[in-house]
Amino acid sequence: MQIASHNGKPFSFSPEAQAEVQQLMAKYPESRQKSALIRALHIAQEENGGWLSIAALDHVAEALRITPIEVYEVATFYTMFNLEPVGKYVLEFCHTGPCAIEGAERLINYVQKKLGIETGQTTPDGMFTIKEVECLGACGYAPMMQVGLYYHEHLTEEKMDRFLEDCRAGKIDKGSWKMH
């Protein structure tokens, strides 16, 4: 995965975020500050509108006193980090074995057609981004997706239609919708 080019905006942690990063680093010996990297990346992503720009990645490296490449390696490995701007709702579809057997690929294709975008793209209105991710550990509930902190399981085209409509209608706070 490529890291999006610099968006021209400098990045630095808010005072609260900087304090949290400092507290994290204090938990580890001086030579082990890299142990705070994943949480520091989450903090940076939250403060940067849901994605990690090069400026944000470089700031994390500086804050942790590690090299930028060490940050880039981690940020590009994990699908939970967005390396380009994303929509308000990031639809992370599991597409590995059990979900694929239960129709994940068909469902992903359905959502792509419905939204008019491909995997990795964001709708022009900035509402939705589609991602395909590796196993989310809910194999018995396939096909499924994660949006924010919540899993949405046993998905069907009808459930996806309702979810997308509810998002567009403002009935769903980012990541708070649960499938019933």
Domain that holds residue 66: 15-77
**What's the DSSP call for residue 6?**
P
**Within this chain, do residues 43 and 97 fall inside the same structural domain, yes or no?**
no
Q: Report the pLDDT value the prediction gives residue 166, as an integer from 0 to 100.
A: 92
Q: Report the pLDDT value the prediction gives residue 85, as an integer from 0 to 100.
A: 94
Q: Which residue has the tokens 């990045």?
A: 11
What is the pLDDT confidence band of residue 177, given thresholds at 50, 70 and 90?
very low
Burial 94-125 (b: 16+ CB within 10 A, else e): bbeebbeebbbeebbebbeeebebeeebbbee
Q: Report the pLDDT value the prediction gives residue 104, as an integer from 0 to 100.
A: 95
Kindly state whether residue 140 falls inside one of the protein's structural domains. yes
pTM, two decimals, is 0.82
Give the model confidence (pLDDT) of 112-171 as tens digits: 999 999 999 999 999 999 999 988 888 899 999 999 888 999 999 999 999 999 999 988
Kindly state whether residue 61 falls inside one of the protein's structural domains. yes
Q: Which residue has the tokens 């994290």?
A: 24
**Within this chain, do residues 146 and 94 fall inside the same structural domain, yes or no?**
yes
Half-sphere exposure of 81 (CA within 13 A, CB side): 27
- CA 161 remoteness from chain centre: 22
- pLDDT at residue 175 tops 60: no
The domain total for the chain is 2
Give the model confidence (pLDDT) of 65-121 as tens digits: 999 999 999 999 998 899 999 999 999 999 999 999 999 999 999 999 999 999 999
Q: Which residue has the tokens 């395909």?
A: 132
What is the pLDDT confidence band of residue 178, given thresholds at 50, 70 and 90?
very low
Kindly state whether residue 101 falls inside one of the protein's structural domains. yes
